[in-house]
Amino acid sequence: MRRTLRATIAASAVAAVAFGTFVVAPAAMAAGNIVIWTDADRAPAVRTLFAKGYKGSTVTVVVKEFGKIRDDLNTVTPDAAPDVVMGANDWIGELAVNGSIVKINLAANAKAALASGAVQAFNYRGSQYGTPVAIENIALITNANLVKKQPTTFAELEKQALNLKKTGAVDIPLAVQQGAGGDAYHMYPLFSGLGGYVFGTDAKGAYNTKDVGVYNKAFAANAGMINEWNKSGLINSKVTGDIAQAAFTSGRAAFWITGPWNLDKIKNVPFKYRITSVPPIINGIAPVPFIGVQGVMLTKYAATHGVEAAARSLVTEFMPTEKAQYNLSALNDRFPANIAAGQRVSNLQLRFFGKAGAGGVPIPNVSQMNSVWGPLGSAWVNSTKGAGATPAGPSFAQAQVSIKKAVAAG
């Protein structure tokens, strides 16, 4: 998350962890200390990867809450600043514009080794601002003991889930996290499955932030289904990430929409399960998830700290490699952006998540995306909170207006 990321994905802040041993520095590199900011979910893998330092420099990993990595980079003092940050592709619009991260050059062979869409996810206005290292998305996890036949349409899923709730077999028909602040990231497969989109694109594939599709004609025509889901109790905004996890892992939810960051929570459940994409809601419209691309970015502070050469090499030369990304994937249960490393992934669950992400929408990396998460998440909350909910039409129409105003205001 996702965490809520962005939306969605958040980890508890923990104390900074330093590690690394000194290695004799080659003449081309001056020994120093490269500081990497990452979240608690990824820190152990990064710590292991750089346990012996890099290019003669030690490596210090500072663990921060996921969203705080981006936010704190804007306010940190130079002496406490990182040289490299590991984070989401949709941060780069904001961080590139304010100068917190700097442009990098990926060699042709490095680009060729990586999934092209992942590389593009870290490209902003024609310049590269990061190296992708992992690709992640949410999927539908089904309790196979409760659901013998996997639903091929959302109508079938709805019928099975509500029947299980009616008989008392489950407490939550469809566990998808929201909570008071909403979670537009986890709700995106349902949003896209009803015809919604965030920003349109131009002929070259660049996002057109003037084309806001939160309440476009197709979605507006299908939004009434959300009212039915609310009325039947299929979806309830009071379900948080913790509630969803507890319900599914205890066998009290038939379906769970979540990501690979929860694989460790389900690997020991006492029932069989399946990982698939969310089935079609409307004929002709495929429900697809957001695709989040995680990567490493070089900050402006690496030069201030005198470690720019080593830090830049780490980002552009080492992190794109099969070795680095395979090791990260094995340690962290994320699908690597390096193609060869991806072919070596033996974790079947991770492979199923990758399959469920086929056709997914990369999270827009434009700074205007910051204006989307709140209103879109609130529209879902307002229309799925049970008694007293606002009908979906007015809820999402208001979100469209709010987003357009925020984008226009810059």
Q: Is the pLDDT of residue 355 over 70?
A: yes
The phi-psi region of residue 182 (left if phi > 0; otherwise alpha if psi is between -120 and 50; otherwise beta) is left
Give Rg (Cα) of the chain. 21
24 pLDDT above the threshold of 50: no
Q: Which residues pair with 176 in a beta bridge?
A: 257
Q: How far apart are CA 142 and CA 150, in angstroms?
A: 8
Q: Go through the domains of the chain in sequence order and give each one's CATH number.
A: 17-136+292-362 (3.40.190.10), 139-288+372-409 (3.40.190.10)
Is-contact 291 116, C-beta < 8 A? no
Which of 293, 323, 249, 297 shows the shortest CA–CA distance to 96? 297
DSSP 286-328: ---PEEEEEEEEEBTHHHHTT-HHHHHHIIIIITTSHHHHHHH
**Tens digit of pLDDT for each residue in 120-138?**
999 998 899 999 999 999 9
Position of tokens 């979906």?
A: 392
Mean pLDDT of 44-62: 96
Q: How far apart are alpha carbons 133 and 336 in whole angstroms? A: 6
Separation of alpha carbons 243 and 186, rounded Å: 14
- Please state, in angstroms and rounded to a whole number, the distance separating the CA atoms of residues 337 and 320: 8
Predicted confidence at residue 73, as pLDDT, reads: 96
Separation CA 97–CA 89 (nearest Å): 14
What's 238's DSSP letter?
T
Percentage of the chain lying above the pLDDT 70 cut:
92
Helix (H) or strand (E) holding 274: strand 273-276
Among 241, 202, 169, smallest CA distance to 4 is for: 241
pLDDT tens for each residue of 155-201:
999 999 999 999 999 999 999 999 999 999 999 999 999 999 999 98
Closest-CA residue to 98 (of 74, 67, 71): 74
Encoded tokens for 167: 């008989």
Does the pLDDT value for residue 39 go beyond 90? yes
- Residue 182: count other Cβ atoms within 10 Å of its Cβ: 26
Q: What is the mean pLDDT of the chain?
A: 91
Could you give the CA distance from residue 198 to residue 91 in angstroms, rounded to a whole number? Answer: 16
List of residues 6+ apart from 345 with CB closer than 8 A? 326, 329, 335, 336, 351
Q: Is the four-CA dihedral 184, 187, 189, 191 of positive or negative sign?
A: negative
User: Which is nearest to 290 in space by CA: 39, 91, 1?
Assistant: 1
Task: Report the alpha-carbon distance of residue 260 to residue 127 in Å, rounded.
Answer: 30
Q: Lowest-pLDDT range, 172-186, 239-253, 346-360, 379-393?
A: 346-360
Phi, psi at 189, each rounded to 5°: -60, -35
Alpha-carbon distance of 290 to 280, in angstroms, equals 16
Kind plus residue range of the DSSP H or E element containing 120: helix 116-121
The answer on pLDDT for 17 being more than 80 is no
Residue 374's H or E segment, with its range, is: helix 373-383
Residue among 389, 303, 311, 337 at smallest CA distance from 84: 311
Q: Is the pLDDT of residue 56 over 70?
A: yes
Q: What is the pLDDT of residue 367?
A: 87
Q: What is the model's pLDDT at position 84?
A: 98
Which pLDDT value is given to residue 239?
98
pLDDT digits (tens, 9 = 90+) for 327-339: 999 998 899 999 9
* pTM of this structure: 0.83
Question: Model confidence at 1, in pLDDT bands (50, 70, 90)?
Answer: very low
Closest CA to 10 of 352, 284, 242, 306: 242
Give CA–CA dist 283/277, Å, rounded.
Answer: 15
pLDDT band at 31 (very low <50, low <70, confident <90, very high): low
